[in-house]
Amino acid sequence: MFDKFGKWHKEIYVNNETHPILVWENIQLFPKDSTKFTIATNGLESPEAIYASILIFDKENNDLLAESSTYRDKLVTLFGQFIIQENPKKVDFYELYWKQVDPKHWNDLQRFKKNKN
């Protein structure tokens, strides 16, 4: 999402979690369709696992990934393409994310990086 649409609009912290759900609002995903979407993402990257989740809603807060949604197949295909096109070497998201969500962790990462070199 960040690579395609830039910085998220808001962060939602659930149950005192340290990592927020990132939310993009009023996003037009399809060039020939003026529908605006709200997209919420969450994920985890660790040595043991990589996990990503996504929720997509319309302006009436309908779940557009529900089996009954007419958008479901189009959205699954589109986000599958986003994943395939992702550049794993692109790291600008991490800088912005950690600086905003946990500046201390960002500083620790930078110190570790300097000491490693």
pLDDT digits (tens, 9 = 90+) for 7-61: 999 999 999 888 899 999 999 999 999 999 999 999 887 788 888 899 999 999 9
Domain ranges of the chain: 2-86, 90-117
**pTM of the model as a whole:** 0.85
Determine how β-strand 10-12 pairs with β-strand 36-45. Answer: unpaired
3-state secondary structure of 56: strand
Confidence of residue 65 (pLDDT cuts 50, 70, 90): very high
| 72-97 pLDDT tens trace | 999 999 999 988 887 777 778 888 98
Is pLDDT larger for residue 88 or for residue 1?
Answer: 1
CA 109/CA 116 separation, integer angstroms:
10
pLDDT computed for residue 40 by the predictor? 98
CB contact at 8 A, 93 and 2: yes
